[in-house]
Amino acid sequence: MLHSKSTKLNILFLAMLFCHIVLPLFIGGLFKGANMYTMLVVSQLLMQGPVIIYLIVTKTNPFKLIPFKFFNPLAILTLVLMTYSLLPLVALVNMISMLFVENALTDVTVEITANSFWLNLLFIAVMPAVSEEFAFRGVFFHSLKDKGIVFAAVISALLFGLMHLNFNQLSYTFVIGIAMAFAVYATGSIFGGMIVHFILNSNSVIMMALLNHILAESGMDINSIMSEAVTQTQTTSSGDMVLSIVLIAIVAAIMLVPALGLYMSTAVICKREFVLKEIKDDFKNLFKKRQTGEERRIVDIVFILCLVFAFGYMIYSLI
């Protein structure tokens, strides 16, 4: 019999680990040669399996756990602007990770640009924004929320990053995951996270479509350009890379100011000003023992073993 929320969440962690690492080893051959869209759908289905199991085991109604409500349309604008303000930070983290590992999306860029823009938008931007937000900022974040908002945001973001199973995407999706969790809390709705997620992914789709169009107009081949870009990245000296990182870091630091301002504006517009004080206080108390005596038991041996297994798998993939 399940006696604690930590035990129930451990079931979810183990199920996620099984569905994302173990199960694909057995069924991967069934989808050998499948196109990108098929693989995207399969990955989203694998993600929802453990979430559904958790909701059934805990007898949780997702519509009571997760706030599905509309908010002031003006907050949509502030969220969009906030997301674009965070893009330099995302680029910075991505570049830092590329000092150690390759960009995980390089191999699929050509396939993406060769496909329909609208299909790319649907499968890369819309579908993950709904499916992944339901799982990570919906079930995960709200199941952990009583252990602290910042704690819940960080843990759900870490699991979101690990779900990608490579160090490159783990780095920046972890940062993005925290931002999306805070967006959900500022708006009081899962739709806040979905909007940020959609903007981030759709921006990539739009940029790649524009690049493909410009290259096509110039009579240049996307395959050769991407191959040349990869080669140039690999041959770039550490000094040049560090200089680029420093420049982007300066831009990211500057853009964090409007990003924070827009976040606070979002909370005010949604009449959730209390969120700002709560997050501030939670940051201060993040490493302090909780006054209620209830400790954050979610970080236990099962959780640690899941992290070790996931990191071990990613290290093995690099060998």
Hunting for tokens 């699991």 — which residue is that? 159
* pTM for this entry: 0.90
pLDDT in tens, 75-93: 999 999 999 999 999 999 9
pLDDT at position 1, please?
43
pLDDT at position 302, please?
79
What does the block give as tokens for 280? 């501030």
Hunting for tokens 């949509």 — which residue is that? 76
- What gap in Å lies between CA 230 and CA 123, rounded to an integer? 25
Q: Considering only residues 223 and 201, tell me which one the structure prediction assigns the higher pLDDT.
A: 201
Hunting for tokens 């329909």 — which residue is that? 116
Question: pLDDT band for position 169 (50/70/90)?
Answer: very high
Q: Considering only residues 171 and 20, tell me which one the structure prediction assigns the higher pLDDT.
A: 171
pLDDT at position 215, please?
73
pLDDT in tens, 204-260: 899 888 877 787 777 766 666 666 655 565 556 667 788 899 999 999 999 999 999
- What gap in Å lies between CA 225 and CA 211, rounded to an integer? 10
- What gap in Å lies between CA 104 and CA 125, rounded to an integer? 17
DSSP 290: P
- What gap in Å lies between CA 209 and CA 217, rounded to an integer? 12
pLDDT at position 306, please?
84
3-state secondary structure the chain: CCCCHHHHHHHHHHHHHHHHHHHHHHHHHHHCCCCHHHHHHHHHHHHHHHHHHHHHHCCCCHHHHCCCCCCCHHHHHHHHHHHHHHHHHHHHHHHHHCCCCCCCCHHHHHHHHHCCHHHHHHHHHHHHHHHHHHHHHHHHHHHHHHHCHHHHHHHHHHHHHHCCCCHHHHHHHHHHHHHHHHHHHHHCCHHHHHHHHHHHHHHHHHHHHHHHHHHHHCCCCHHHHHHHHHHHHHHCCHHHHHHHHHHHHHHHHHHHHHHHHHHHHHHHHCCCCHHHHHHHHHHHCCCCCCCCCCCCCCCCHHHHHHHHHHHHHHHHHHC
CB 68, CB 134: distance < 8 Å: no
Long-range own/partner contacts, residues 260-265 (CB < 8 A, 24 or more apart): 262/78, 262/79, 262/81, 262/82, 262/85, 263/78, 263/82, 263/182, 263/183, 263/186, 265/78
List the chain domain ranges. 71-318
- Rounded mean pLDDT, 82-105: 92
